[in-house]
Amino acid sequence: MTVRHSILMFITAGLLSGCNGINRNPYADTPTTGIINIGVDENFKNITEAELMVFEGLYEYAEITPVYTTENECVQMLLDDSIRLIITYRPLYEYEKASFQKKHIIPRELKIATDAIAVIIHPENSDTLLSMKELKGILTGDIKQWNQLNQKSTIGDIDVIFDNKNSSILRFVLDSVCDFSALSDHSYAMDSTIDVVNYVAEHRNSIGLIGVSLVSDSDDTTQMSFLKRINIVAMSESDHPTAENSYEPYQAYIYQGSYPLTRDVYIINAEPRNGLATGFMSFLASDRGQRIILKSGIIPAVAPVRIINVRKNL
């Protein structure tokens, strides 16, 4: 039996035990009732809102208030015991787990999805194909101007835009793309993902990095309006990117592993007993919760993804 299956069985057992007996207080803390706050990385906001709408629709006495913030702040709130559950883009570090062990609490961690980071540029910028090597060069400042990528470019210096100095995207870039090298002195942190989109849409020389779920749900008219204001870069593992070996962060390419900038999403529960945090964790891992993730345009950890090949008539 895998660790993951053990966690799901433990959660399911908790849900069943929470249904026994008559609860006089409809808001008592059980897997389907109660009032709690949770911490959520802001890159996962759209999906969390969709999940909460369904969960609270099913359980009328469940009230979950999400606090959308940075990855670092989410983890710190969990360590401070101000919240019991977070959704973030990394598991706990060993020293963070040790902090809970001192309290005789063993946090439960569960991968619920695979997300990706989208690279965006101004719509007038024609450099829509980049290799991972070129992206690293841009991020570290080895490539400072657009004409180093395209000799015909007249755009000038490259400004690199992040959502927040404490964000999961910045942490991912530093440890998974830049190998902990220093960032370009033309790197700037905004206050939110929306600020990144706005900045890139208004500055021809900029390149931004955002969570792909912001631009992946075709049913969300707000997200579609973002796409009209920016270009999404197709990324390649090859040092010589072409249209044939470069991929945009579409769901199928994330699933197949063709798109290189992917990262896992975790739910971390430090609840000492099976209450509402455990119930919401179980819902996210359930078929219904995973299908909400599937619809959002990223990859659920459990539910299957259908890959459809569309062949054009020659």
pLDDT at 55: 97
Q: Residues 13-28: pLDDT tens digits?
A: 455 444 444 446 777 8
pLDDT at 126: 86
Domains and CATH numbers, the chain: 3-114+263-300 (3.40.190.10), 116-256 (3.40.190.10)
pLDDT at 302: 85
pLDDT at 13: 47
Residue 5 in tokens: 């299956």
Q: What's 102-156 look like in SS3? A: CCCCCCEEEEEEEEEEEEEECCCCCCCEEEHHHHHHHHHCCCCEHHHCCCCCCCC
Residue 224: CB atoms within 10 A of its CB come to: 12
Dihedral of CA atoms 81, 85, 88, 90 in degrees, nearest 10, equals: 70
Three-state DSSP state, 261: coil
Positions in the chain short of pLDDT 70: 1-24, 214-227, 303-314
